[in-house]
Chains A and B, each alone.
Chain A
Amino acid sequence: MFSKSKRVNIVITFVLLFIAGIPVWWNTTTTYRSNVDFTEINEYYNLKDNITQSKWPLFKQLFNQVGPIQHDIEVKTATEYSLSFTLLNSDPSDIIPKWDFPYLSNKYIQPFIEQISDIANFTVQSKISHYATLLKSPLYDSKENSYYIPSAFLSEYINPNEWQLDTPSTNQPTLNFIIYIPKTTQSPLYIRSNQNSNSFLIPQWGGIIIHNVNNNKNKNNNGPIDLTNELEDQMVSFKYQLKELLGINNENNKNNNKNNEKKEKKYLEKDIILSNDEIDSTIKRYTAENINVSISTLYSLSSLIESLPNMLVLDNIRDQVKVAIESLGRAHQCLEQSDYNCALQASKQSLASSESAFFDKNMLSQLYFPDEHKYAVYTPLFVPVCFPIIAGIFQEFKHYRNKKLKK
């Protein structure tokens, strides 16, 4: 016993029990914040105007060499892309289409993907969908006995969001390529424009091609129609659309427009295979953009963590940031040696690590919990608990004084 009096022992016991609970309260309610090292990123941002004093001076040169990066049509830079090919049928009572997509993909898409596989990982998927409808009925041209859609009003007739494409939701960007087969009552369907083309691009989203099926074959066959041979030209068109969406071969388009029509066939055959210059410029462009986005993401993350003291920062954030900064260092070393493939690989890893750190789901768990709510949580807890303990202490103190006065 601490003393002879029972009352004093009881008060001391309650005080000790309360003190024993304080470490549990502290450990269960403190927001864990790992120590993330952002010094290199902050130094780079503060000194980026002075090339000589900057930590990574070659990044500036690379940015100047590549030039301004635009995203009017191009999809954003990523380490992984998902390519989705859809055969979209309007009325299955007229036509039931069929295609041998692996054959078409291996012949036209895979060689292209293999040439640019250093830039990013590509996954290809395909499907057939029915009952697709246009927002408006196309216009009829009695002279040519066909239907047409004015190119200026394409968005009023076709809205891909209305077509239930059911793309799986992932973090990687998805490029959609659609072959639309109109109804028999609306065939043949053309896009009327200056260009003799029945396809169009949607910026940062994908491409759509309208394909008219031959009526002669339809009359003969009642079952599904194999469109594999007819669609080979469409796959070539998709390849050009993909190049444009990925930002490859922008300058060459201008040069090619100047050529004669006779050379068009040769042009098509030649451009199935990319040239070394195109690949090199693409590698440099992607390296520059990866590095730029990584640095911006890390700087934003640093500002975010500093501005929100209640945000949960786990150890994996620290590890991811460390990997990203180390990858940037390796990319710079590769640039010193003029090894652009090595620099591209390092920049890809830096981009992946920085984005996974920035979009970590645990960081948002306490983001909308302000400090004022803690008062609402703690006041009904600690006031009823502390009041009897403090009252007991004061009462024993008075009792002790009275004893002294009596003596």
Chain B
Amino acid sequence: MTTSVRASKQQQHTKSQHEQQQQQQQQQQTETTIKDDNKNGKGNYNFKSFLLILFSAILIRIILFYQGFDQLFSNRNEITTPLTSFKRLVEGLHLRELGLSPYAGSAYHQPPLVLLLFYPFVNSINISNNNNNSGDGNNYLIFGIFEKSQILFLIIDCIIAIVLREIAKQIPRVLPKEMKPISANSNLPNITAALYLFNPFTIFTCIGMSTINLTNLAIVLSLYYSLKGMIFQSVFSVAMASYLSIYPVVLIFPCALILKHHFFPPQQTQPVAQNQLPSDQSKQLKQLLERNERPMLLLFYFRILIFFLLSISSLFYLSFTFLNSWEFFEKSYKFTFFVEDLTPNIGLFWYYFIEVFDHFRNLFLFIFQYHVFIYCIPLAIRLKDHPLFYFWSLCAIIATFKSYPALGDTALHVSLLPLLYQPLKGVKYSFIVIVVAIFVTVLAPILWQMWIYQGTGNANFYYTINLVFTIAQVLLIVDSLSVLLKLDYVNKINLKNKLLENNQIEQQQQQQQHQQEKEKEQQEKEQQEEQQDEKTDLESSSQKIDDNNNENNSEENEEK
């Protein structure tokens, strides 16, 4: 017992040491990692086809930018919101350059570091304007300068696709329950990246220059680094996403569970115990291991919490030093929580808070905001063995029930669905959800046109489409969750059957031992040799029986 415990601890220490070395190497030599990725990519996972996918996606976006669709999409309420509008960002930058607060015009409502990120891209517009005023009149220069911020949105989309592809590679290694191992020639990573890049919602969000892409990038990076086992990078990504739009703060729970699976894998203790020790002693060993792991787990979670608080505090302090005031809490985060702008969008808040009695406004504000955060703890209790699905479900809940949603939020959680293909093959309503999504995408602009410009419709038409869209997303979440729970139930039944069969085998072995004892009394040394041969035969026969059971179970799963 003591030797096995020491062995498992040593294994954990060796793993942590290796990971630390890997992190140091990556920090020191980034170029070598790029080369290694290229080398691995050439031989694995069809890297060439991924390059083709990436190139065609970039080409589509450049064509749409060149045709001027950015002006059309950046005005759509489904694509940009008061929190994510690029035009408001430019307004904030101009106010900043004039020496005023970027929030002075009541247009800009994003955190200050977003302003700092876009400063070198948008500042050049003034230079071009000055040149035009001086009389140069270079149209090519204007085109080139506008292209800078558009290139930034292009790059963000490509980075997200690359990270999603890497996530698809990492999941079978870290979370075997979520996804079975895939071969080196599998198309799943490329399909994942392609379904993100060619999703119409993703294209709309990129061309519309919505800054929700920054939040999506932070969310995807948090998942990637948690699968890699990098605690600080993962927690910092969650803090960055929370800094950008508050609601992703709940993603700290699934990231913590994924990191816990990475550093405290549940399966390794079982084979050691089963191979070396009888069932009673293996149970005792499991209990001892669990007791030893609990304080370590608590320290682990506490460490994650400390990293998160340090990250979010440093981001707030950087914002304070940039603005010299704490104004952004009121203009950005209070604006989000108190829903001060009731411009119509694809969410549920705007219509409701136009109609609500003033006496009950604060109550329903609390209920609507509480509704987003209320699911994270119950889902953690139920889905702690499926942290990837837990991550996806929280992203979907945020996209559905946040105060200023847009199609970019939906694009994110739809793009994570290929990673959950194996457990969700049995989803019933996928066809309905897809048809409703197409229906909504086509009808929302039409009903908006009828309401605002033609006057033949009213607000109820547009809100009906919002309700349909919300119902489709809720249906997707509920259906996926029910299918996953059914799979868990089936797996439990299979495990019970295995245990029963193992008990029967043990009984047979006991009977055989009794027979062997009788034979010992009767036979001589030569007969002892014959007994050893019989033992080896029994062991091989038991192994064969186990293999047959596994095959039968797999067949049953396939049938179901």
Contact = CB atoms under 8 A, between A and B. Distances in A.
Interface of A: 6, 9-10, 13-14, 17, 21, 24-25, 28-29, 31, 365-366, 369, 373, 377, 381
A25 B370 CA distance: 12
Nearest to B379: A10
A163 to B, nearest CB: 40
Given A29-B360, A369-B359, 12 more contacts: A6-B381, A13-B377, A13-B381, A17-B370, A17-B377, A28-B360, A28-B362, A31-B359, A365-B358, A366-B359, A377-B360, A381-B367
Contacts of A6: 381-382
B494 to A, nearest CB: 19
B378 A28 contact: no
Interface in B356-381: 357-360, 362-364, 366-367, 370, 374, 377-378, 381
Residue among B359, B366, B367, B378 having the largest count of chain A Cβ atoms under 10 Å: B359
A13 B379 CA distance: 10
Main DSSP-derived SS at the A contact region: helix
Contacts of B357: 369, 373, 377
B370 A10 contact: no
Contacts, number: 39
30 contacts: A6-B381, A6-B382, A9-B381, A10-B382, A13-B377, A13-B381, A14-B374, A14-B378, A17-B370, A17-B377, A21-B366, A21-B367, A21-B370, A24-B363, A24-B366, A25-B363, A25-B366, A28-B360, A28-B363, A29-B359, A29-B360, A29-B363, A31-B359, A365-B358, A365-B359, A369-B357, A369-B359, A373-B357, A377-B357, A381-B367
Nearest to A21: B370
B18 to A, nearest CB: 33
Contact of A13 (B358, B359, B378): B378
A118 B453 CA distance: 62
Interface string B369-397: 01000100110011000000000000000
Contacts of A377: 357, 360
A365 B360 CA distance: 12
Contacts of A21: 366-367, 370
A27 to B, nearest CB: 8
Contacts of A28: 360, 362-363, 366
Nearest to A381: B367
Interface size class on chain B is 10 to 19
A393 to B, nearest CB: 14
Contacts of A13: 377-378, 381
A381 B363 CA distance: 11
A376 to B, nearest CB: 10
A366 B360 CA distance: 11
Most buried by B among A14, A28, A29, A369: A28
A21 B365 CA distance: 12
Contacts of B359: 29, 31, 365-366, 369
Interface string B327-369: 0000000000000000000000000000001111011101100
B381 A17 contact: no
Contacts of A9: 381
A373 B357 CA distance: 10
B450 to A, nearest CB: 28
Contacts of A366: 359
B489 to A, nearest CB: 12
Contacts of A14: 374, 378
Contacts of B374: 14, 17
A9 B384 CA distance: 13
A31 B357 CA distance: 14
Contacts of B367: 21, 381
Contacts of B366: 21, 24-25, 28
A6 B381 CA distance: 6
Nearest to B356: A377
B66 to A, nearest CB: 49
A31 B363 CA distance: 13
A25 B362 CA distance: 9
Contacts of A24: 363, 366
B358 to A, nearest CB: 7
Contacts of A10: 378, 381-382
A381 B377 CA distance: 22
Interface in B63-120: none
B350 to A, nearest CB: 18
A24 B369 CA distance: 12
A13 B382 CA distance: 12
Contacts of B370: 17, 21
A384 to B, nearest CB: 11
A377 B382 CA distance: 33
A373 B377 CA distance: 34
A14 B364 CA distance: 18
Nearest to B384: A6
Nearest to B370: A21
Contacts of A373: 357
Contacts of B377: 13, 17
Contacts of B360: 28-29, 377
A42 B364 CA distance: 40
A381 B357 CA distance: 14
Contacts of B381: 6, 9-10, 13
Q: Which of B358, B367, B370, B381 has the most CB of A within 10 A?
A: B381
Interface string B516-544: 00000000000000000000000000000
